[in-house]
Structure formats: structure tokens, C-alpha cells
Amino acid sequence: MSKLKIAVQKSGRLHEDSMKLLKDVGISIDNGRDQLKASAKNFPIEVFYLRNGDIPQYLRDGVVDAAIIGENILFEKGNDIPITEKLGFSNCKVSLAVPKSSTYKSIQDLQGKRIATSYPNTVNQYLIKNKIEAQLHIINGSVEIAPNIGLADAIVDIVSSGSTLFKNNLKEVEVLLQSEAVLAVSPLISKENLEILNKLKFRFQSVLKGRQSKYVLLNAPNDRIQDIINILPGMKSPTVLPLAETGWSSLHSVINKNDFWHIIDELKLQGAQGILVCPIENMVI
């Protein structure tokens, strides 16, 4: 039986988030310490643990069929590789930073300056777009130290919380790229393995939709039901069930977690009581 070969980052935050997603979709990975490859017990899949920067070439060559990878890596090293699903976690950005003492006002201030980065292709595209000529110093790791030792006037690197920039006396001044984890697919994937990938993608979509949603149960007077239904978007329409107490009903629906408090406030104004909010593990549409 054919197995889908999927790559994930060998270590780091993206690795942890990727393995959690696989676990949440019911895939049990039997991997021992320091293994570079592991098979699932209950799904036709093999997981390859690779260096993030190597994954685009493995996809391009068909060594792996798919990968959970940062969008920023594909932009830098694999913009010819198709993305089949955005996964909504491991969010970060590729940003330009300068010393806090800098009088930086606009991108034009980079003209003729030195920029240290691990993302030369991304930076070059940005400079060309803005018609700026600058000198690049390509550094793998510890890019933030470059201005402090006089190697560069600015840096371009991954920014998550911004704490690393703060510690190195730098300030973020431009965002070149917003990034999140994505599911990328090899252009050489077989038809059989593409079918397996589509099954995996369906599971991913169900879990990710559940993560973004909350299940809401509430009690409401019957004369306010329509007003409350207008507030609750639901998947199609809320479920309405009569309560033992005359004139009251129970409503069940799904809301987006980002709209949670705003919707709860509106429900209370419309007379909703006993509002119960539950997490959703999976949401199959």
C-alpha cells in the first residue's frame, strides 16, 4: 500500500505545532528519539523530520510528497512550490529592523546601506520593488548582532514577539512578509498519494475550523428568538428546542471565537440567559 511522505521541521516551534496537528487529526506517529523518519500506525503516512531550509528542495525533487512548512521559507526558497492549505498557526513576519538610535524615516533611507539577513531572495525582491540599491550580508543565525558589531546598518529577519529585537537594541520599521504554517505539495506527487493527501487535508480543515469556533448553548424567551437568531451566524441556522418552562426555548449554535465577546454582549442585551460556551474538537462541514 502506498504511503504519503510528509516533511515537518526537525525541531522548534513549527515542529511542535505540526506534530500536535497530526495528533489532533487522529494520526498516531511511532517515532523514537532522534529518528529522521517515522510511520503512522493508523494512517498511510510517513513523516520525515528535516531542516526547514532543506524542505523546498525535497518537495521539488519529489523525495517527499508534501510538507508542513513556514510560508516564509517557501517565499525564500520555493516560490515555485504550490500551497494547498494555509494552517493558521506558527504566525510570524519577516521584518526590517534598525538600531533604536537610527533616524530611519522611510525605505529610501536604505539606499547604499548594508543589510544583514538570512533571507537574501526575500530582501532582494523587496529592494527591487522599492527601487533601492543596498549591500547584503548573508548570515545564518544571530542576525540581530550585526548592527552592534558594525557589520550592517539594518537587518531583515523573522519576528514573532519582538523580544529578540528589543534585547539587541533594535526596532522594527518595515514588514516585508506575513507568514504562517502552510501545507505545501510536491509537483511530482503521484495520483494515489494525492488522494491520501486530500484525505489528510480534509482532517486538517475539520480540526482547524473547530479551533476557530465555539459551541454556544443558551436559553431565551420565545418572543426574542428571532432577534437572537439574527445575532448567531451558525453553520446554517441555530437549533431551537422548547424548554419545560412555558415561553422559553434553548438555542444551540456555533460562533467564531474571534467574535466571541462581542456576540455574548449582544445576546445578553436580547435577553439570553444561562449562556454556555464549549470548545469544538472537530468541525466537519
Residue 143 and residue 68 share a domain = no
- pTM for the model: 0.84
- Asked if residue 98 has pLDDT above 80, the reply is yes
- The CA-CA-CA angle for residues 119, 125, 131, to 5°, reads 130
Residue 188 and residue 86 share a domain = yes
The residue to which cell 537587518 is assigned: 155
CA distance 223 to 215: 23
Residue 18 and residue 129 share a domain = no
Count structural domains, the chain.
3
Q: For residue 205, what are the domain limits?
A: 4-90+181-210
pLDDT band at 113 (very low <50, low <70, confident <90, very high): very high
pLDDT per position as a tens digit, 125-175: 999 999 999 999 998 878 989 998 889 999 999 988 778 888 899 999 999
Residue 120 and residue 259 share a domain = no
- The CA-CA-CA angle for residues 75, 54, 180, to 5°, reads 40
Residue 78 and residue 47 share a domain = yes
pLDDT average, residue stretch 87-115: 93
Residue 85 and residue 106 share a domain = no
Residue 86 and residue 104 share a domain = no
Q: Is residue 258 part of a domain?
A: yes
Residue 110 and residue 33 share a domain = no
Residue 206 and residue 193 share a domain = yes
Q: What is the DSSP string of the chain?
A: ---EEEEEESSSHHHHHHHHHHHHTT--EE--TT-SEEEESSSSEEEEEE-GGGHHHHHHHTSSSEEEEEHHHHHHH-TTSPEEEE---S-EEEEEEEETT----SGGGGTT-EEEES-HHHHHHHHHHTT---EEEE-SS-GGGTGGGTS-SEEEEEESSSHHHHHTTEEEEEEEEEE-EEEEE-TT--HHHHHHHHHHHHHHHHHHHHHTEEEEEEEEEGGGHHHHHHH---SSS-EEEE-SSTTEEEEEEEEEGGGHHHHHHHHHHTT-EEEEEEE-S----
- pLDDT on residue 41: 85
Q: Is residue 285 part of a domain?
A: no
pLDDT per position as a tens digit, 241-283: 999 989 999 999 888 888 888 888 999 999 999 999 898 888 8
